[in-house]
Structure 1
């Protein structure tokens, strides 16, 4: 991703269409969600070199929040909405020039009219069944989602910051793909 801003208000990064990425997939190459809400957390996976095929996504990581806010646009450039990706607060690795997080499965979709839709509740239940989260951990994730809803309803940053009007400069280059990539079986730690 390309860093747009990185300061005390948080990290903002741009995932441009066509950006190379490495993602976990099932051993047969299918997206993990096709395994179902429990098996998606228990089936073996490999890493796949791919490219981002959607329109660009602007990701805002508010400091200390257990979520990031993704801004989505349609092909015609019109703003589609915000996606709140519940996750652990990002931890920086300055030496590797990256941040790390753990996805919490549950998400929220906010339309431009500010209506909120909860997403992937079945996958959170599946994650508990599969042992990825405890029941208490899932309750904490749901509480974090309610906290995000309160921020949305109060229209706090980053929702109120006007990022939905942002556009990437046309001269920005795509990040480079890794120079070599071998599929790797993802170990158990990704299932826990």
Structure 2
């Protein structure tokens, strides 16, 4: 630490939990169940997306967590139970929502959260285990509640899809435009999100971590069980598979 960066008297020591700096006590052990939360905003502030996940690795290089197929989760949906995007790129941000207790459908996702980046990188596989590609989800820097086993962010709508041949496809640009029209983001905020996407593209083109880390060959341990359903929110709707 340089003299210019030295903390003021009485401030937390670097590396202490109070300082918010990385330290052993701020990381979760592999196998720990956590909640990866996409917070609701505005009139939907009480409608988060809560995904229980299992920690694969957590250290100074970032958080890696597994969303297993069939995991029970809480998510916002339209009042008739449909996914919010079915309302269209503008109305999806303005229509009423309710919470649904559902399951993660399809194959599992391995998420990598690089430290300090406004995105996470998701690894997707086909049903036969073939690696399909990487998905860069633009999102706000995470806020971590270590004791509560929760990491929270806000989705920034825009995404990138990277095929195994490293071809890059921009996703959901119409929804970002719709978010501005709906007042979800200002034009300046949307411009910042697009700038973040370009920054991610530069890292993809440089093939830096986590793209070069070989996570596409990772497989979950056979003895890992599905996490329990979130209990922090009361759902209005419940998927048929979860009716007792």
Give TM class, smaller chain: over 0.9
Work out which of the two has the higher radius of gyration on C-alpha atoms and give 1 or 2: 2
State the shift of 1:54 in Å. Answer: 1.2
Say which SS state the counterpart of residue 96 (structure 1) adopts: coil
- In 2, Cα distance between equivalents of 1:36 and 1:63: 33
Which of the residues 109, 112, 115 maps onto 1:60?
Answer: 112
In structure 2, the residue matched to 1:92 is 144
Task: Provide the C-alpha distance between the structure 2 equivalents of 1:82 and 1:141, rounded to a whole number of angstroms.
Answer: 19
* Structure 2 residues not aligned, in runs of 5+: 1-52, 237-244
Q: What is the SS of the residue equivalent to 2:156?
A: strand
Q: How far did residue 60 of structure 1 move? A: 0.2
Q: Output the TM-score relative to the length of structure 1.
A: 0.93
8 Å CA contact 1:21, 1:52 repeated in 2: yes
What is the aligned length?
184
Q: What is the CA distance between 1:52 and its match in structure 2? A: 0.5
Does the 8 Å contact 1:37/1:126 carry over to 2?
Answer: yes
Q: Relative contact order (C-alpha < 8 Å, sep 6+): which is higher?
A: 1
1:38 aligns with 2:96: no
**Partner Cα distance (1:23, 1:149) in 2:** 29
Residue in structure 2 matched with residue 178 of structure 1 by the alignment: 230
- 1:178 CA displacement: 3.4
Question: Which residue of the other structure, out of 139, 142, 151, is the alignment partner of 2:194?
Answer: 142
Deviations 1:62-95 (A, max 9, x none): 0000000000000000100000000011110123
TM-score, normalisation: structure 2: 0.74
CA change 1:181–1:37 in 2 (3 A) is: same
- Which runs of 5 or more residues in structure 1 are unaligned? 185-192
Q: Give the aligned partner of residue 176 of structure 2.
A: 124
Residue equivalent to 1:115:
167
What's the C-alpha RMSD, in Å, of the aligned pairs? 1.1
The question of whether the paired residues in 2 share the 8 Å contact of 1:17 and 1:56 is answered with yes
1:2/1:15 contact within 8 Å kept: yes
Instruction: List, as ranges, runs of 4+ consecutive aligned residues in structure 1 with deviation greater than 6 Å.
Output: none
